Amino acid sequence: MTVTESGQAGSPSFPDHPDADLYDHLLRRAHVTGRCPVWVSPADLEHTLERPDDPDELFDAIDRLDGEAVLARWWPGPCGAECPCRDPFPVSIPRARALRPTRDLARRPETFDAAIECARGASGPLALVDAYRPADTPAVLGWSGAGHHPHHDLVGLAAVLRYWERRWGALVVALTRSRMYLSVARPPMYDDECEQVAGEHLAFCAARPDPQNGDGHSLRRYVGTIRGAGVWSFGWTR
């Protein structure tokens, strides 16, 4: 493997001739090497957001946040009295009625398998980022995709992505200038889980269109689009 270095110290490197097999190898060892792969073009990283220069400082800041609490803070509801929504947002994100037994899925084999399968459709440059897990890669890169939403920040974004890694085996696979793609090893299937995740998605991607397909949405209709979905995609309008 030949690696082309780009930019200052701490900047990502880009392996020559990347493919899904290389991505597989790099992803499964990221927690040991501290170098995590994500599919992203250097052209989509021309404009980056401010973040701590010291990686340890950045990771400590992420550690201090709870992803669910971040989503609760970002939740755009409730809808005002004059909102034209046919299905107004409630006061808070809907919560699943029952806590079903879960385990940390972040580094389970099936979680990596889902990411590899998602990556088989990827093309273009593969970045190696100074991070131990996919959830932290947007923050380390200073990714600006959601940067025009004033209440969003890279540390909070990473905290949410870590929470989804653990809960659903959802890994950041690819980034573009304004879109993010996650593989999902164990997507929600129960009604109440789907309602909660739908609310979390709409808090995470605050643009009014449906994060998955860009259409206008209601929370109730959006629930049906994510049941069993093995890929989550989010697009922030600019």
Instruction: List pLDDT tens digits, range 77-121.
Output: 766 666 656 666 777 888 888 666 678 999 999 999 999 999 997
Q: Which residue has the higher pLDDT, 192 or 149?
A: 192
CA torsion 145-213-158-126 (nearest 10°) is -70
Please give the model's pTM, rounded to 2 decimal places. Answer: 0.88
Which residue range forms the structural domain that includes residue 147? 3-235
Work out how many domains the chain is built from and give that number.
Answer: 1
Residue 145 in contact with residue 38, Cβ under 8 Å? Answer: no
Query: Residue 82: which residues within 8 A CB-CB, separation 6 or more?
Result: none
Chain-centroid distance of CA 34 in Å reads 19
3-51 tens-digit pLDDT: 333 344 358 999 999 999 999 999 999 999 999 999 999 999 988 888 8
Tokens of 106: 């972040």
Confidence label for 207 from pLDDT (cuts 50, 70 and 90):
low
